[in-house]
Amino acid sequence: MSAEFVQAGISPDDTRWMREALALAERGLTTTQPNPRVGCVIINAGEVVGRGFHARAGGPHAEVFALREAGARAKGATAYVTLEPCAHVGRTPACAPQLAAAGIRRVVTAMTDPDPRVAGEGHAILRSAGVQVESGLLEAEARWLNRGFLSRIERGRPWVTIKIAQSLDGRTALANGESRWITGEAARHDVQFLRARHAAILTGVDTVLTDDARLNVRLTDEALAIDGDVRQPLRVVLDSGLRLPPFAPMFDVPGDVRIYTRDVNTGIHHDGLTARGVQLVAAPQADSGLDLAFILRDLAQQGISEVLVESGPKLAGAFVDQGWVDELIIYQAPVLLGHKAQPCLALASPIRLDDAPRWQIRDTTPVGQDLRITLLPRVDSSGATG
């Protein structure tokens, strides 16, 4: 809790209502891309008079839904919002002026919006209208909820998560390539929720060809607890030689496909892929394959905030070695595959143990017979990872 809140005398109730706003924001976990996930709770005389969350880009913002529910009871109330109210008119009107016009007395936000179109302007509009504004309550939780959006705005690239299903001895497939199924049904079902949360799923062409990978979300709107159609993530394939045929099973399911390749105008499958509506993008070549930095920047420019990497050990290892991985999710099965089986990551070997990348465990959760481990790169006192 910041010094600003200590001075303002933030109460346990303030924290309670902000937690409720964060819970509301999570209801947009799989639907708001490219927008951030935002929740709002309006309290008058200790009573909830309005609730709202942002559901889809182009739809009403959280504050608008909450104000609609509150009606005249918004006058003199406090609004708890997980992100600074917007100050710009886009596909929807700006929220900050609407809060002020409704007579909201006090606005508590979890964090300032780093989007250059807002960046403190929403708070300034409210203050100029005489609204008491405080920001920073449960900021860490709010930033984690919108880590993809923040990565795209602040770093110019998406948040990158690698998903691995492995044995106890760190293997993902037998020596002959057989990998179905290392993990159990519950873990595979859990992966569907993981896919639904991400704006894009990235893999290499060999994974698509070998596994007939579709990389789509196979859950219903009811299972995801959403209204409307399930948003299919963009499928991203790194295919330097444009080897992916237009009749691959990936193209039999809904959703866009974007292929990064050395030359979009060559390859025997060019015409067929174009006819399928595939997005073909030329990417520079780097030492270890296509330039991952270019690809991540380009995806951010397309509004992609969160990328899930589901690939073979070579591509996944390249992401780790080059420092692009923000989150590592391992589904560990209680099985041993032996030293001849394929490793989960093809990594460069450190010369010294001190040089080995270090990770911190954020969460461990049993999923059926397996264990889901979520890890983040360890950051030292200088801000460096590893």
Residue 82 lies in a domain: yes
> Phi and psi of 232, rounded to 5°?
-85, 130
- Quote the crossing angle between the two packed helices 62-70 and 12-25, to the nearest 10°: 120
Q: Assign 385 a pLDDT band (cuts: 50, 70, 90).
A: low
Number of structural domains, the chain?
A: 2
Nearest Cα neighbor of 29 from 96, 82, 103 is 82
Do 243 and 285 fall within a single domain?
yes
pLDDT at 85 over 80: yes
Do 244 and 332 fall within a single domain?
yes
Do 232 and 344 fall within a single domain?
yes
Do 190 and 306 fall within a single domain?
yes
pLDDT at 173 over 70: yes
Do 157 and 220 fall within a single domain?
yes
Query: What is the residue range of 356's domain?
Result: 147-377
Q: Assign 382 a pLDDT band (cuts: 50, 70, 90).
A: low
Do 127 and 209 fall within a single domain?
no
Residue 1: what pLDDT? Answer: 43
pLDDT at 7 over 50: no
Residue 45: what pLDDT? Answer: 93
Half-sphere exposure of 278 (CA within 13 A, CB side): 32
pLDDT at 325 over 50: yes
Q: How far apart are CA 40 and CA 32, in angstroms?
A: 15
Do 220 and 297 fall within a single domain?
yes
Do 126 and 186 fall within a single domain?
no
Do 237 and 373 fall within a single domain?
yes
Residue 80: what pLDDT? Answer: 98
The answer to which of 72-86, 105-119, 168-182 has the lowest mean pLDDT is: 168-182
* Cβ count near 171 (within 10 Å): 23
Residue 385 lies in a domain: no
Residue 6: what pLDDT? Answer: 39
pLDDT: which is higher, 267 or 161: 161
Model confidence pLDDT, tens digit, residues 41-79: 999 999 999 999 998 888 899 999 999 999 999 999 999
Average pLDDT for the chain: 90
Q: Assign 363 a pLDDT band (cuts: 50, 70, 90).
A: very high
**Domain boundary residue, one of 117, 145, 173:** 145
Q: Assign 175 a pLDDT band (cuts: 50, 70, 90).
A: confident
Q: Assign 265 a pLDDT band (cuts: 50, 70, 90).
A: confident
pLDDT at 347 over 50: yes
Q: How far apart are the first and last CA of the chain?
A: 28
Do 285 and 312 fall within a single domain?
yes
Residue 383 lies in a domain: no
Residue 348: what pLDDT? Answer: 82
Do 189 and 298 fall within a single domain?
yes
DSSP collapsed to 3 states, the chain: CCHHHHHHCCCHHHHHHHHHHHHHHHHHCCCCCCCCCCEEEEEECCEEEEEEECCCCCCCCHHHHHHHHHHHHHCCCEEEECCCCCCCCCCCCCHHHHHHHCCCCEEEECCCCCCCCCCCHHHHHHHHCCCEEEECCCHHHHHHHCHHHHHHHHHCCCEEEEEEEECCCCEEECCCCCCCCCCCHHHHHHHHHHHHHCCEEEEEHHHHHHHCCCCCCCCCHHHHCCCCCCCCCEEEEECCCCCCCCCCHHHHCCCCEEEEECCCCCCCCHHHHHHCCCEEEECCEECCEECHHHHHHHHHHCCCCEEEECCCHHHHHHHHHCCCCCEEEEEECCCCCCCCCEECCCCCCCCCHHHCCCEEEEEEEEECCEEEEEEEECECCCCCEC
**Active site residues per annotation:** 63
Residue 14 lies in a domain: yes
Q: Assign 176 a pLDDT band (cuts: 50, 70, 90).
A: confident
Residues in the chain: 386
User: How far apart, in Å, are the Cα atoms of 144 and each of 83, 151, 327, 359?
Assistant: 12, 11, 11, 17
Do 274 and 162 fall within a single domain?
yes
The answer to which of 134-143, 259-268, 295-304, 366-375 has the lowest mean pLDDT is: 259-268
Residue 2: what pLDDT? Answer: 45
Q: Which residues are CB-contacts of 71 (< 8 A; sequence separation ≥ 6)?
A: 49, 50
The angle subtended at Cα 345 by Cα 339 and Cα 351, nearest 5°, is: 90
**Domain boundary residue, one of 145, 176, 206:** 145
Mean pLDDT throughout 146-170? 95
**Domain boundary residue, one of 119, 145, 171:** 145
Mean pLDDT throughout 296-313? 96
Q: Assign 4 a pLDDT band (cuts: 50, 70, 90).
A: very low
What pTM was computed for the model? 0.90
The answer to which of 181-190, 263-272, 298-307, 311-320 has the lowest mean pLDDT is: 263-272
pLDDT at 179 over 80: no
Residue 350 lies in a domain: yes
Residue 386 lies in a domain: no
Mean pLDDT throughout 6-23? 84
Q: Assign 223 a pLDDT band (cuts: 50, 70, 90).
A: confident
Residue 9: what pLDDT? Answer: 64
